[in-house]
Amino acid sequence: MSGLTGFGAGTPFPLTYEQDRFHTKTRSSGWSHKNVQLGFEILGDLDTGALTDAVRAFVLRHDALHLQMAPAPGPHPQQWTRPIAADEEVVRCVNVKAASPGQFSRYASALLSRDCVTPWSYGTQRPFRIRLLRHDENHHALLATFQNLVFDGRAHHLFGHEVWRDYQALRNGEPLPDNAPSFAEAAVRQRAKTGVRQRERAVASWRERLAALTRLSWTAPAGSDHTEAGGMVGDELSGRTVAALRGTCAEFRFTVLQTTVGFFVAALAARTGRTEIGLWTSMDSRSSRDADVVGMFAGSCPLVVRDAAADALSVRTQVRDQLLNALRHQGLTAGDIAVLTREAEEVGGAPVNRDVYVNLRRFEGDSTVTDDGGRLRITDDAYPLQRITFHDRFALHLRCTEFRDRLCVDLLYDGRRADRRLARSILDDMLAGITAATGGARPGAV
């Protein structure tokens, strides 16, 4: 099995623009290292052989997971792939002697936490670590961490979708796909399609947005508590409300996440008195052709909503247009963006505002699923990280995760520039707007 469909193993290929930005941040800014982590709790009669075979098949066919770089890659690295050997261990299976399911879960969380913050050693080490833990015949944990240089939110979704699809196929005696779209080829295509005109347009777009962000410096609203510690407020929309929301979105050609950000921006404007909102988000630059490529194509980018105090439909339209505009103009390196940022700050006489961030994830399935004919209950994100604190530089950080059966929303606040009262009021207004738009009732806070 091989993920390569025409690009030779060992042949150097360029980093994607998003890889270049990630590598530059981790190399030069003291950015905290954090791998992408997945933790599935599996309850029921698991066929461990079928699961390990399904995971191995995923790793074999996705060439991003074969990625290698020089031991000291430097500022302008190259990458290449080294195929997985026939006798190479991909999944480490471990029997865990735990006194209770709770103790087993705490152990799984501790192990996943350690793997999450362990940097990838460039050179010969694989950019992933996958473990299958067994408590008893009806209780397992599948833990996986992937170096962010090869794995983003879309790859996260593809792992869960393809592994459980292939597990079921193996249980049914069906063949598995023996190849997948090549990350190496997609990276080459991404660079090749950025011609002079495309780059000029990207530069102009970033220049305009960065200039706007120099004048949108954050000022805490009157009455904010500047002394409390940062924290998080959370809420969620039920499957029924999300289904109604999808119907409303389809009518106006919005996505659920575009609509969610639109209501967030409107609530933020109303609660802070701002008429122009600047924020950052993570943007997946995959083309439709490369939708199923595992790799790193997600990078942060600025958005500017010029009239955030307009009516709800107008604000949502502005957000959608800003997201689409950002997607069209992602083709810049870390060096390009650094130059444009310095230029904007010199002209504007102020730093580029990075106080509000929006993180959006979408999964096509339910948050908790049954598989293998109902024999298994599989829960994603089952093992929270322990004793790990990452500094969040944003005043407000919105995290939205869309499942088929619910929409989970968390709003982090830093305690200095935004306090809990402000975060709670913004979140309440945002979800009240969403549920009103669908004709539903306001959900209870969690």
Domain contains 318: yes
Query: 330 with 433, same domain?
Result: yes
Domain that holds residue 430: 195-355+394-437
Query: 227 with 165, same domain?
Result: no
Model confidence at 34, pLDDT cuts 50, 70, 90, reads: confident
Model confidence at 446, pLDDT cuts 50, 70, 90, reads: very low
How confident is the model at residue 4, as a pLDDT? 45
How confident is the model at residue 392, as a pLDDT? 65
Q: Report whether pLDDT(225) > 80.
A: no
Query: 169 with 217, same domain?
Result: no
Q: Which two tokens stand for residue 316?
A: 């949502």
Model confidence at 445, pLDDT cuts 50, 70, 90, reads: very low
Domain contains 373: no
With contact defined as beta carbons under 8 Å apart, do 247 and 445 qualify?
Answer: no
Query: 79 with 144, same domain?
Result: yes
Q: Which of 132, 165, 188 is the last residue of a domain?
A: 188
Domain contains 123: yes
**pLDDT tens by residue, 105-117:** 999 999 999 999 8
Lowest mean pLDDT among 199-203, 222-226, 365-369, 383-387: 222-226
DSSP structure string for 107-145: HHHHHHHHHHH----TTTS-SEEEEEEEEETTEEEEEEE
Domain contains 385: no
**pLDDT tens by residue, 306-346:** 999 999 899 999 999 999 999 899 999 999 999 999 999 99
Domain contains 375: no
Model confidence at 2, pLDDT cuts 50, 70, 90, reads: very low
Looking from the CA of 141 toward its CB, the CA atoms found within 13 Å total: 28
Mean pLDDT of all residues in 69-81? 88
With contact defined as beta carbons under 8 Å apart, do 96 and 135 qualify?
Answer: yes
**pLDDT tens by residue, 115-156:** 998 888 888 899 999 999 999 999 999 999 999 999 999 999
What is the number of structural domains in the chain?
A: 2
How confident is the model at residue 393, as a pLDDT? 80
Query: 216 with 241, same domain?
Result: yes
Beta bridge pairs of residue 132: 93, 142
Query: 307 with 411, same domain?
Result: yes
Q: What percent of the chain has pLDDT over 90?
A: 69
Query: 101 with 62, same domain?
Result: yes
User: Average per-residue pLDDT in the chain?
Assistant: 89
How confident is the model at residue 3, as a pLDDT? 46
At 27, which CATH number?
Answer: 3.30.559.10
Query: 177 with 212, same domain?
Result: no
Domain contains 81: yes
User: 216 to each of 11, 108, 277, 396, how far by Cα in Å?
Assistant: 45, 43, 7, 14
How confident is the model at residue 119, as a pLDDT? 86
With contact defined as beta carbons under 8 Å apart, do 442 and 241 qualify?
Answer: no
Query: 182 with 309, same domain?
Result: no
How confident is the model at residue 218, as a pLDDT? 81
Q: Where are the alpha helices (DSSP H) in 172-195?
A: 183-192
Q: Report whether pLDDT(5) > 70.
A: no
How confident is the model at residue 10, as a pLDDT? 81
How confident is the model at residue 189, as a pLDDT? 93
Domain contains 204: yes
Query: 350 with 231, same domain?
Result: yes
In terms of C-beta distances under 8 Å and separation of at least 24 residues, what long-range contacts does 374-378 make, across chains too?
Answer: 375/44, 375/45, 376/42, 376/43, 376/44, 376/45, 376/46, 377/42, 377/43, 377/44, 378/40, 378/41, 378/42, 378/43, 378/164
Mean pLDDT of all residues in 412-417? 90
Model confidence at 239, pLDDT cuts 50, 70, 90, reads: confident
Q: Which of 136, 155, 188 is the last residue of a domain?
A: 188
Query: 170 with 223, same domain?
Result: no
Model confidence at 365, pLDDT cuts 50, 70, 90, reads: confident
Domain contains 228: yes
How confident is the model at residue 1, as a pLDDT? 42
At 259, which CATH number?
Answer: 3.30.559.30
Model confidence at 77, pLDDT cuts 50, 70, 90, reads: confident
Mean pLDDT of all residues in 19-47? 85
How confident is the model at residue 345, as a pLDDT? 96
Q: Report whether pLDDT(443) > 60.
A: no
Q: Which of 188, 222, 253 is the last residue of a domain?
A: 188
User: 209 to each of 301, 317, 321, how far by Cα in Å?
Assistant: 9, 17, 13
DSSP structure string for 26-72: HHHS-PPP--EEEEEEEEE---HHHHHHHHHHHHHH-GGGGEE--SS
**pLDDT tens by residue, 427-438:** 999 999 998 888
How confident is the model at residue 6, as a pLDDT? 52
Query: 137 with 171, same domain?
Result: yes
